[in-house]
Amino acid sequence: MLYQKEKILNKNNKRGIWFFIYKYLKKCITCLEKTIKESGISKDKIDIVLIVGGSTRIPKIKEMIEEFFIKKDIIIKVINQNEQLDI
């Protein structure tokens, strides 16, 4: 099994990398779903999403957020974690 994972990584392609990070990206969306559910706000009422930290460097996470909200006009703002302010 480890050999197979190394083989995929050695290919150094998007598909191989996607194979390894997908479960972590999915956890981000699961966290987003849970937060919205606990807030009692409908996701239709959300227009802006702020993302902070390492995930901001992954274009796929932005794409997954857009897919989650089922609209391409949602504004995704990226905030540098070293420059963030308490909101």
Q: Give the number of domains in the chain.
A: 1
Give residue 30's Cα distance to chain centre.
10
Instruction: Give the model confidence (pLDDT) of 76-87 as tens digits.
Output: 777 766 665 555
| Six-digit token string for 70 | 């089922």
Q: How many CA atoms lie within 13 A of 19 on its CB side?
A: 13
Q: Tokens 């009422």, residue?
A: 45
Residue 9 lies in a domain: yes
Its pTM surpasses 0.85 = no
Q: Residue 85 domain-assigned? A: no
The range of the structural domain enclosing residue 53 comes to 2-79
Structure confidence by residue, pLDDT tens digits, 1-59? 444 555 555 555 666 677 778 888 888 899 989 999 999 998 888 888 888 777 677 78
Q: What are phi and psi of 79, to 5 degrees?
A: -120, 130
Task: Please report, for the domain that includes residue 48, its CATH number.
Answer: 3.30.420
Tell me whether residue 43 is in a domain: yes
Q: Which residues pair with 76 in a beta bridge?
A: 49
Residue 40 included in any domain: yes
